[in-house]
């Protein structure tokens, strides 16, 4: 158990809908990262927050957004869902914010499996 929690574990929804995925980082970690993992793409970095502020953006679609709250939990919002958005979504956390000169060991949660029908 990494100490990172994610809810829900599974989510089934229809195209065009909007969903929210939730993540709580390990105690003491200030950085939260979101990743998407699909069979043909591997683990793709979406976005990072550090202590409530957006730190880095990866391959995140405009239909997707995220935020980190004062209690450090984070939510990933996915809207106008398409069939291709079906994937495992992972949250990871780390102590470091990822500045040059630091080593950014990230610890992953159990994931949310999203199925878009």
Residues forming contacts to another protein in the complex (CB under 8 A) are: 2, 4, 42-43, 45, 48, 55-56, 58, 88, 90, 92, 97-111, 113
Cβ proximity to another protein, 26 vs 79, nearer residue: 26
| Residue with the two structure tokens 């997707």 | 64
Whether the CB-CB separation of 34 and 49 falls below 8 Å is answered with no
- Check if the beta carbon of residue 35 is closer than 8 Å to that of residue 109: no
Q: Least distance in Å: CB of 45 to another protein?
A: 6
Query: By C-beta, is 56 or 61 nearer to another protein?
Result: 56
Instruction: For Cα atoms 59, 109, 36, give the angle at the middle one, nearest 5 degrees.
Output: 20
From the CB of 23, what's the least distance to another protein, in Å?
11
Strand duo 87-94 + 107-108: pairing: antiparallel
Q: Measured from the CB of residue 16, what is the shortest distance to another protein in angstroms?
A: 26
Sign of the alpha-carbon torsion through 35, 19, 80, 40: positive
Nearer to another protein, 27 or 99 (CB): 99
Nearer to another protein, 73 or 79 (CB): 73
């Amino acid at each position: 158990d990494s100490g990172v929690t994610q809810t829900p574990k599974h989510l089934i929804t229809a195209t065009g809908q909007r969903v929210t995925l939730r993540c709580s980082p390990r105690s003491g970690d200030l950085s939260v990262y979101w990743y998407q993992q699909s069979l043909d793409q591997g683990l793709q970095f979406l976005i990072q927050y550090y202590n409530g502020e957006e730190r880095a953006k990866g391959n995140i679609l405009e239909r997707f957004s995220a935020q980190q709250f004062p209690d450090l939990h984070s939510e990933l919002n996915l809207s106008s869902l398409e069939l291709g958005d079906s994937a495992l979504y992972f949250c990871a956390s780390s102590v470091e914010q990822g500045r040059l000169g630091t080593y950014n060991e990230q610890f992953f949660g159990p994931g949310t499996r999203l199925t878009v029908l």
